[in-house]
Amino acid sequence: MHFHKKLFFLFLVLFPFGKNIFAQAYTRLEKKIIRSIYKDSGIDVRKVPNLLVFYAHDGTEGQINLDFHPADSITLHPDYLIALGDASQFLAAQTIMQLVSQNKLQLSQDINLFLPQGYHNPTPISLESLLTHQSGLPKLPTNFGQYEKDKNDPYRYYTDTALLAFVKDYPLAQKTGKYRYSLVNYALIQYILEQLDKKRTPLNEKWNTGHKEGHPITPKTYYQFDAAKGLAMTPSALFQTIKSTKQIVKNYPIFSTKMQRKIYSSYGFHVLKTRKHEIALLKGAVNGFTVVAAFDRNRDRILVIVADSQDYTGRLYHALDWFF
């Protein structure tokens, strides 16, 4: 028997999940994706009931649903809602950019134009500075703890008025123009969109079940900070949305984040530079779900990975970076 065949069978013995893999009608690419998830992502399957993967790879598309606990009755349905967490910033940014492309907004506009009288910050803040995390605003508002009453639903009691009061009084001198990751930026973007009658539809669809620390989480109504931490969408719709934004995203500029070498920021997502591609990366974990999505500028290759557990954010993308 050839050496590489011996290695192959040894791999099956060492990794019992291989029996389930090859019992399925998976393609060669799908088998490679699954192996990478099990072997290289560091995922703790005891804490993650299910993992759902959508992919597009050089004209080939598919879906993989991994059930780590087949004895239970829980499945991750591609057409039921999930919470996107920070990954939802991409959706809010694309709505803003669509309005810009229709000449209804300008990136240079001061957001004070959209805020009520009495809530203007003395320092101008442009729409683009919100989109690119260069406004100077902090990650969370400093008055947030005054309203947080339930750690499992921390945004419920934080109102638009509280957000605007924080923005009004926050000193921005010498802080604008540099990258500073901020959920406040996208909470303000969502507020502006609501003022422009771009409200999202009520969440009256079916939800997947999320998990945190091994316990199921019942989906709750989202209040403020919607775009920063609370937007919801089905996994299949997220995949189709990423596919459909090819033209509007292809030529977006990127901005240095100074977070890490070769990582940059754009409008609602981060960019990782490789030798071959610029890869857009979305990551979010909230309300019992983890979402990782990555795609190249031309959408030749797209990955959307959803776990129905908030415990795991891990190295899913890095385990699959060979995909690009």
User: The whole model's pTM is what?
Assistant: 0.84
| Domain 16-84+205-323 fold | Beta-lactamase (3.40.710)
Helix or strand holding residue 249 (H, E): helix 246-249
pLDDT score recorded for residue 204:
58
pLDDT score recorded for residue 203:
52
pLDDT score recorded for residue 11:
38
pLDDT in tens, 212-255: 888 888 766 554 555 455 678 899 999 999 998 876 777 788 88
Question: In which residue are the tokens 């192959």 written?
Answer: 8
pLDDT score recorded for residue 277:
81
Q: Phi/psi zone of residue 288: left (φ > 0), alpha (ψ -120 to 50 degrees), beta?
A: left
* Mean pLDDT for the chain overall: 83
Dist CA 131 CA 92 (whole Å): 9
Q: Could you give the 3-state DSSP secondary structure of residue 230?
A: helix
pLDDT score recorded for residue 154:
65
Dist CA 162 CA 143 (whole Å): 8
pLDDT in tens, 167-225: 999 998 767 788 999 989 998 998 898 888 755 545 557 889 998 888 888 766 554 55
Residue ranges of the domains in the chain? 16-84+205-323, 90-195
Structure token pair of residue 78: 């591609």
* Share of residues in the chain with pLDDT > 70 (%): 81
- CA atoms 218, 220, 226, 231: torsion sign: positive
Q: What angle do CA 302, 290, 41 make, to 5 degrees?
A: 70
Question: In which residue are the tokens 């902090």 written?
Answer: 138
pLDDT mean over 136-151: 80
pLDDT band at 144 (very low <50, low <70, confident <90, very high): confident
pLDDT score recorded for residue 249:
79
pLDDT mean over 143-169: 79
DSSP code at position 199: P
pLDDT in tens, 12-58: 334 444 444 444 689 999 999 999 999 888 888 888 899 999 999 99
Backbone φ and ψ for 62, nearest 5 degrees, come out as -170, 180
pLDDT score recorded for residue 153:
63
pLDDT band at 74 (very low <50, low <70, confident <90, very high): confident
Q: What angle do CA 153, 158, 159 make, to 5 degrees?
A: 135
pLDDT mean over 150-154: 65
Dist CA 238 CA 76 (whole Å): 14
Structure token pair of residue 68: 């780590």
pLDDT score recorded for residue 18:
45
pLDDT score recorded for residue 228:
55
Residue scoring higher pLDDT (153 or 212)? 212
Dist CA 106 CA 91 (whole Å): 18
Residue 268 identity = G
pLDDT in tens, 273-286: 877 788 999 999 88
- Asked if 51 and 307 touch (Cβ cutoff 8 Å), the reply is yes
